[in-house]
Amino acid sequence: MALPGLNLSAATEIAAPVVHEIQKDSEWRFEVAFGSNVEVKLLSGTAEIFGTELAPNQTYTFSGAKAAIYTWHGCRIQVSGTCQVEYTAEETPMVSYANVHFALEKLRRQAAIDGREGPRVMVVGPDNAGKTSLIRTLTGYAAKTGGQPLVVNMDSREGMLGIPGSLTAAAFGTLMDVEEGWGSSPTSGPSPMPVKMPVVYFFGLPSPESNSAMYKSVTTRMALAVTERFSRDVASKETGCFIDTPGILSQGKNNYDILHHIATEFSVNVLLVLGSERLHSDMLRRFDGHRASTDEPISVIKLLKSGGVVDRDEAYMRHMRQTQIREYFFGDNKSTLSPHTQQVDFSQVTIYKIVEPSTILTSLLPGGDEDNDTEPSRGGFHGPPIFEKVEPSLSMQYSILAVTHVAPNSPHEDIRDSSLMGFVYVAEVDEQRKKLRILAPVSGRIPNKALVWGTWPEGFADLVG
């Protein structure tokens, strides 16, 4: 049986519960397919999942998950449902991760005494090295010891409290969601977990390589947002921040200048290198002891990749992106949302498409169409165009549009640098009647703001019927 419209196989029948006894300093690793559920309950002892403790006797439900339940002192867990993979591992890098946490705590205490910002930590490493999991773990530990770290996701391939394609930052001073990872962002429905208030920018492309100039500009804007947050939030300032980076930036020297840009803009002073000797030595050469834009040197620390980190294939990643998009509009099994569909005329929306760098080159060549009269004011800026104003067309059907905070005809730089109100989904484009069917998370008219269309996330045909 299949759930209509969701392209998921229905939950398989629940196998009889199994009890696992996990020895101290070990973890139970498991993978659950999308569309099936596995329930886990902590029966005795203590356990955590990526730095967030499990409450005793509470049932946690996992679907489409690859994760590990770690115990420092030993525990018993009850598992119901069928895992694709499950095993217990005694060898984990958790002690070294905990040592990093204690070292960061020391820096935080010193920063509080000196009235400075806490450590600004950037995590680098190839794809599937465990960067996000390490940041979740260190964020969980920092929150548990009373801190409120800012977590910055600079990887547009995956969303953090937002849709893929966006770059977000949020303060984590409260418990994270054991089942969902980063938890939920403010939505139009109630949430059992404290919601986080992310600041969101749109990149709209899968990789910084797709448009490094635009990525660097959005990075600069995000770093300003983080500095601004530090200036009005003492708890976050003292705890510092964690910056997650796209794996592609660590895979080959071509993109090290982008890593350098992130490190400089965020005044990074701790660089954690996961899972690559060669990257570590490159980073040491580039950064160790070098001064960032503040007066502090950068410490480069090598950490082992966990043996539990799983390579995720394209089909899994695609499913994960679609789940994130669906949850943004419709909620999850804990809180159902009620998005609204409405018809709008083409004339009611102003949509900008991100210009590919190759097109920019063409438009700058003699005879190129740089002086396009249909383009809005460039606010006195004469650089290459960042966006192209486009009329809706069939190719836009099933796409996500980012709703900025700026007026429809704002200069390109203002559109690029604007944080986002949210996202809408183009359910249908009727070129003949010049009408769009739009799905928005809340009711009311689509705000009269500049909308941005990127190539990422890719179109998602099955979101609404």
Nearer to ligand ATP, 133 or 139 (CB): 133
Residue 22 pairs in a beta bridge with 75
Find the residue with minimal CB distance to ligand ATP: 308
Nearer to ligand ATP, 87 or 102 (CB): 87
Nearer to ligand ATP, 179 or 417 (CB): 179
**Minimum Å distance from CB 396 to ligand ATP?**
28
Nearer to ligand ATP, 125 or 457 (CB): 125
Closest to 152 measured CA to CA, from 47, 224, 205, 251: 224
CA distances from 123 to 134, 204, 242, 263 (A): 8, 22, 7, 10
Which residues form the interface with ligand ATP (CB under 6 A)?
29, 66-68, 125, 127-133, 155, 158, 247, 306, 308-310, 312
Nearer to ligand ATP, 261 or 319 (CB): 319
Q: Answer yes or no: is 133 a known binding residue.
A: yes
Report the distance separating Cα 42 and Cα 38, nearest Å.
13
Q: Tell me the backbone φ, ψ of residue 436, rounded to 5 degrees.
A: -120, 145
**Minimum Å distance from CB 65 to ligand ATP?**
7
Q: Which helix (H) or strand (E) holds 360?
A: helix 357-364
**Minimum Å distance from CB 136 to ligand ATP?**
8
Task: Centre a 10 Å sphere on the Cβ of residue 226 and count the other Cβ atoms it contains.
Answer: 22
Report the distance separating Cα 396 and Cα 392, nearest Å.
6
Q: Answer yes or no: is 132 a known binding residue.
A: yes
Nearer to ligand ATP, 89 or 360 (CB): 89
**Minimum Å distance from CB 59 to ligand ATP?**
20
Q: 């669906």: which residue's tokens?
A: 326
Closest to 50 measured CA to CA, from 242, 213, 211, 191: 242
Q: Answer yes or no: is 144 a known binding residue.
A: no
Residue 183 pairs in a beta bridge with none
Task: Decide if 262 contacts 232 (C-beta within 8 A).
Answer: no
**Minimum Å distance from CB 277 to ligand ATP?**
16
Q: Which amino acid is at 251?
A: Q
**Minimum Å distance from CB 278 to ligand ATP?**
16
Q: Which amino acid is at 423?
A: F
Q: Answer yes or no: is 57 a known binding residue.
A: no
Nearer to ligand ATP, 128 or 220 (CB): 128
Q: Tell me the backbone φ, ψ of residue 174, rounded to 5 degrees.
A: -120, 175
CA distances from 64 to 47, 85, 123, 223, 340 (A): 21, 12, 25, 32, 27
Nearer to ligand ATP, 132 or 187 (CB): 132
Angle between helix 277-287 and helix 256-265 axes, rounded to 10 deg:
50
**Minimum Å distance from CB 309 to ligand ATP?**
4
Tokens at 412, concatenated: 């390109």
- Beta strands 52-53; 48-49: pairing state: antiparallel
**Minimum Å distance from CB 130 to ligand ATP?**
4
Residue ranges at the known binding site: 27, 66, 128-133
Residue ranges at the known binding site for ATP: 27, 66, 128-133
